[in-house]
Amino acid sequence: MSVQKLVNEKGLRIDGRRLDEIRPIKMEVGLLANADGSAYVEQGRNKVLVAVYGPREAHPKYVGLHDRAVIRCRYHMAPFSTEERKSPAPSRREVEISKVVREALEPAIFSEQYPRSMIDIFIEVLQSDGGSRCVSITAASLALADAGIPLRDLVAACAVGKIDGNLAVDLSDIEDKLGDADMPVAIIPALNRISLLQMDGLFTEEEFVKALDLARNACMKIYEIQKQTLRQKYLQEKEEDNEKG
Ligand code: ADP
């Protein structure tokens, strides 16, 4: 239990949010000219940029698979992304997050349509404030869609945790550090599948069931914003094409 109060008498958190309220979100797709697909997502103070390349021929050839595309993912935190300057050297945490983000995205990709090919996902965390792996998944699935890679569905992610004994969604860094538990979750709605579920801390069985429900609701809110972002981008492109005649 923390000394600093994370939830006040009115049930509001340090940043004024309710327990089931996600942080303000901004999303943009197709902002990088040199990548096949790209996305930028702000969630609270997190700022994450993703570039996707591919599907392209596997290189070197021996890394290719005969029955599906190889998906590679690199999660990287900029040295200036954290309050205390992060060491620019690759960390074990970044290796772990690169792996879990790839595994969260893989079931959504029709990779079997692209044997002997590869898809590269580059994630740059420009600013972080807790939950950056979830924001990375949300942004990477948008960048994959923007690259025109066939997807079973988008992947939306959000963490749920426990602060001052209360379940709360989308923990910020201070809530993560001073709280009792943090559980990042990613969902592929069309498959009704959870593709990421990690856990730091402890929940009772009852809390776990409630937390999963809260995570699902939070992910569905994020999923709606993802769809709206893609829709807006393509409507805008269509309008521009029509203007050109
Ligand atoms: P996530 O960002 O997915 O919640 P963690 O729980 O590992 O992943 O990290 C929580 C937060 O701690 C990050 O969002 C970031 O703000 C901060 N953080 C992570 N690594 C470092 C680091 N090396 N130096 C300073 N702050 C860090």
Q: Give, using CA atoms, the residue closest to atom 27 of ligand 1.
A: 82
> What pTM, to 2 d.p., does this model score?
0.97
DSSP string, 55-95: EEE-SSGGG--SSS-EEEEEEEE-GGGSSSPPPSS--HHHH
Q: Give, using CA atoms, the residue closest to atom 14 of ligand 1.
A: 130
Is 40 domain-assigned? yes
pLDDT, residue 191, reads 98
Is 10 domain-assigned? no
- The token duo for 236 is 């805008």
Ligand 1 centroid, distance to 128 Cα (angstroms)? 7
Is 3 domain-assigned? no
User: Taking 50 as the threshold, does the pLDDT of residue 2 lie above it?
Assistant: no
Pure H helices in the chain: 92-105, 132-146, 173-178, 205-244
pLDDT, residue 3, reads 65
Q: Give, using CA atoms, the residue closest to atom 24 of ligand 1.
A: 86
| Per-residue pLDDT tens digits for 77-122 | 999 999 999 999 989 999 999 999 999 999 999 999 999 999 999 9
User: Taking 60 as the threshold, does the pLDDT of residue 38 lie above it?
Assistant: yes
Name the residue type at position 52. V
| Per-residue pLDDT tens digits for 157-213 | 999 999 999 999 999 999 999 999 999 999 999 999 999 999 999 999 999 999 999
pLDDT, residue 239, reads 87
Is 17 domain-assigned? no
| Ligand 1 and 172: CB distance under 6 A | no
CATH number at residue 175: 3.30.230.70
Q: Give, using CA atoms, the residue closest to atom 11 of ligand 1.
A: 130
Phi, psi of 101 (to 5 degrees): -70, -45
pLDDT, residue 102, reads 98
The number of distinct structural domains making up the chain is 1
Is 14 domain-assigned? no
Three-state DSSP class for 64? coil
pLDDT band, very low/low/confident/very high, at 238 (cuts 50, 70, 90): confident
Q: What is the dihedral of CA 118, 30, 155, 159, to 10 degrees?
A: 120
Q: 128, 136, 175, 180: which to mutate for ligand 1, most atoms within 8 A of CB?
A: 128
Q: Which atom of ligand 1 is nearest to the CA of 131?
A: 4
